[in-house]
Amino acid sequence: MKACIFDLDGTLTDTLESLVYSVRATLREMGLPEITKEQCRTFVGNGARRLMEESLAAVGDENAERLEEGMQVYGRIFDENCTYHVTPYEGIVKMLEALKDRGIKLAVLSNKPHAQAVKVVRKIFGDGVFDYVSGQQEGIRRKPAPDGVWHILEVLGAEASECLYVGDSEVDIETGKNAGLKTISVTWGFRSEQELREADPEHMIAKPADLLAYV
């Protein structure tokens, strides 16, 4: 292996509180009811727009008539709060250090807006850990399209056969398969183990140290 590409939310960092806080604040500013934490957990993974579509539908705007308004409000609120209560999962930092010691290049591919993905990675891990960070941005289709993975492979100078993709959701499993990478699902994130098994990952791990054994 020459490289590992990681999802961010639910894989490297527990960002659920930041997402719940931002969505609730958005809905409150729009004069709408709040969603629950568990609802938010099931809505994340497909980018900010899908998150707002699902959230609005859950509070009665089933046709997403206020989606553009919601995106404007959410974009502002989330940019201010994207690191709110965000922490790395236990064992993640040591796992990343061990991978770097082995000479493996590290990257992040997230459906979180690019600016906020970079902000979270920099705040939680600093500037020297990851070789490349890519959030959702213009010109690169969001996961599960393979575009972001292929872009990162080009930047890192690695082939698909030399890289692992690691994530916590069915979106990540599909992304890895679409890009032709060996894909590892983690069970500590935003989806249940049963949901992950139904998406048929190549391999599943229960703690970050398990990835080192796999590599």
Kindly report, residue by residue over 102-133, the tens digit of the pLDDT. Answer: 999 999 999 999 999 999 999 999 999 999 99
Please give the Cα distance from 115 to 98 (Å, whole number).
27
Contacts of 126 (CB under 8 A, 6+ apart): none
Domain ranges of the chain: 3-14+86-214, 16-81
The model's pLDDT over 156-178, given as tens digits with 9 standing for 90+, comes to 999 999 999 999 999 999 999 99
79 is catalytic: no
Report the topology of domain 16-81: DNA polymerase; domain 1 (1.10.150)
Question: Residues 7, 14, 61, 172: which is the catalytic one?
Answer: 7
Instruction: Flag whether pLDDT at 215 surpasses 90.
Output: no
Q: DSSP assignment, residue 89? A: P
Cβ atoms within 10 Å of 162's Cβ, excluding its own: 16
Domain 3-14+86-214 falls under CATH 3.40.50.300? no
Residue 97 contacts residue 71 (beta carbons within 8 Å)? no
